[in-house]
Structure 1
Amino acid sequence: MESNLSIYTTLLTMESLNLLPSDVFPAFIFGTLTYCAILLFNMTVLLTIALNRKLHKPMYILLFNLPINDIIGATSFFPQLVSSILSNNRSITYSACFVEALLTHLYGAGSLLILTAMAYDRYIAICCPLKYNTLMSSNNLLKIVVSIWTLDITIIGLLLALSFRREICFTNVVDMYCNNPSLVRLICGDTQFNNIYGLFTIALFQGLSLLIVLFTYVQILITVVAKRQTDAKSKAIQTCGTHLIVFLCLEFNAFFALVAHRFQSVSPYLRRAFGVSVMVFPPFLNPLIYGLKTQEIRKNIFAFYKKRKVFVK
């Protein structure tokens, strides 16, 4: 074991990107354009919902939180990545690594909580339509949104606080980006409590979210089949089916990326692939899926660009 190292003077080293010199510039351009596209898509959805009072409904207010969360996730990952690609330097300070890990886990847990709240909203709308205005009133909606972010910040904040040490024994971050498992591996001594609490957060966010989402969609499916209305059935299946696919993909990728750190036999390349996919694909695809595929949002986006085009002419 190495001697204790101060976090204030020691640089950490993340896993190498293994890029050839000829691949550096294309990778930098691709990463930068991807990040810019994520910001553009998510800001478009945010502004569309914020500037149109017709969209100030529970479903869209819950959806409003998703692009905010996706921007947090993309910002925790891409700026550091493209900077290290261009400089060919995978070193990072402990404080920067800690902040990146905090934002990464806030994004991951926040995604699951927001998608779970959206599933609950669809459940009330389809299974209990007469109670919808009461159960999803402004006060209740505010409580849901505040609860999402409070739970996210509190649980994840404590998770990262447990991993913070003034002195560490290792400097190699065993991942493409900083996260809690990689920080725990830097710690000197016993990390059993960190591992127990880490498993608790996985069970809380991923296990509980999965149970709630599956329960709500089973109930939605039963209700839709019982109504025997073709239009209602196809609309519900299209809306909820897309949401369920997005949720399950995120759930599976995040679960594998976290659990893979606990098993040495897992291929590091497979672990990296799942870890990076969690940070890249949801922030990129969510605004397209929930923005362009949602009729009211799509209409408002197109209307905005038409007005802008007329104004420019």
Structure 2
Amino acid sequence: MENLTYNSMILQLEGLKVSEQSMYPVFLFFLIFYVIILVTNIGIFVLIAVHRSLHEPMYILFCNLPFNDVLGNSIMIPRLLVDILRPSSERSISYVECAIQAFCSHTYGTTSHTILMIMAFDRYVAICDPLRYTTIMTNKMVIALSASAWGVAIFFISILLGLTYRLNRCRTFISNPFCDNVTLFKLSCEDVSVNNLYGLIFTVLLFVSSMGSIALTYIKITAVCLSTKSKTLNSRALKTCSTHLAVYLIMLMSGFIIILLHRFPAYADYRKISALLFHIVPSILNPLIYGLQCTEIRHVLIQVLCSKKVRP
């Protein structure tokens, strides 16, 4: 489906292909998960912010993750819910709104990597150099690490989308449930080899730096644990690192599935669903994993729940 009206400011969004019978169940499915994402992520963010016992670098750095999850899903799911209830012919979106959605979607994915990288650094310092932990992980360092996680992502995504915004458009159909960089530059009839090259280099660098830094961190942590043979240190490392590693692997596998399905056009519908799940699944599991696995957060949460039961 093509439209040769150049640089049209109104685009046609395909959305999810759902029948009339499954429209409301699908709507309810995504609505429930969106509410869960908001409640769990905002809840754990407020929990850490309110209780001083959780004002430690590890938990403060973790606050970046629920904030990113809420932002990434809020830019996508509400629009998706509206489109599910609309006929496919009425699923139009302005180019500006589409560009903002693409920018936030890619920033969400990139920041997920950078946040987990700085959290890995925090775990490395805590376990491998515990005596200097308080002098290294100061408030200034926590702010600097958080700012770098967001700054690096925004900088590279700005270049990625900037290369796309410069292109003239001769199509208006977005064959996706939401806007992203690939669907945007596919609207152009110009040469997009620069876009493809930068996107490939950026993706490779992001995954290599992310996987490499976290692998190196965990190798050093493992070496320290094996050399010291301290049960207390090993138990502490296992609790904190297993939580971080579980969150990272969930995010990594979700991203790899999307990249893999991009190589098989015949599975386009599966790719669209996996793109949605890339936002939804980690955002639901992250607060649950940290809330249940981290002893300090779990204790504070139990205290809050128990105090509410006692008050009546």
Taking structure 2 as the reference length, the TM-score comes to 0.92
Shift in Å, 1:159: 1.3
Gap runs ≥5 in structure 1:
none
Deviations 1:30-76 (A, max 9, x none): 21111011000001111011111121111011001110000011112
Shift in Å, 1:258: 3.9
2:175 — aligned with what? 174
1:45 — aligned with what? 44
Q: Find the aligned partners of 1:43 and 1:147 in 2 and give their Cα distance.
A: 22
1:132 — aligned with what? 133
Does residue 248 in structure 1 map to residue 258 in structure 2?
no
Shift in Å, 1:13: 2.4
State the number of aligned residues: 309
Q: Find the aligned partners of 2:100 and 2:14 in 1 and give their Cα distance.
A: 15
2:71 — aligned with what? 72
Q: Find the aligned partners of 1:32 and 1:88 in 2 and give their Cα distance.
A: 19
- Say whether the 8 Å CA contact 1:14–1:92 is kept in structure 2: no
Shift in Å, 1:306: 2.6
1:160 — aligned with what? 161
Gap runs ≥5 in structure 2:
none
Q: Find the aligned partners of 1:230 and 1:160 in 2 and give their Cα distance.
A: 49
Shift in Å, 1:123: 0.8
Q: Find the aligned partners of 1:255 and 1:293 in 2 and give their Cα distance.
A: 25
Taking structure 1 as the reference length, the TM-score comes to 0.91
* CA shift in 2, pair 1:193/1:220, >3 Å: same
Give the 4+ runs in structure 1 shifted more than 6 A: none
Moved more, 133-142 or 166-175: 166-175
2:282 — aligned with what? 282
Deviations 1:238-276 (A, max 9, x none): 431232232123123224424643x35562134224322
- Say whether the 8 Å CA contact 1:46–1:67 is kept in structure 2: yes
Give the letter aligned to residue 105 of structure 2. T
Give the letter aligned to residue 40 of structure 1. V
Give the letter aligned to residue 72 of structure 1. L
Of all paired residues, the percent bearing the same amino acid is 34
Shift in Å, 1:195: 1.4
1:298 — aligned with what? 298
CA-based RMSD = 2.0
Shift in Å, 1:165: 4.5
* CA shift in 2, pair 1:83/1:285, >3 Å: same
Does residue 115 in structure 1 map to residue 108 in structure 2?
no
* CA shift in 2, pair 1:76/1:128, >3 Å: same
Shift in Å, 1:149: 1.3
- Say whether the 8 Å CA contact 2:49–2:55 is kept in structure 1: yes
Shift in Å, 1:82: 0.9
Does residue 93 in structure 1 map to residue 91 in structure 2?
no
1:54 — aligned with what? 53
1:19 — aligned with what? 18
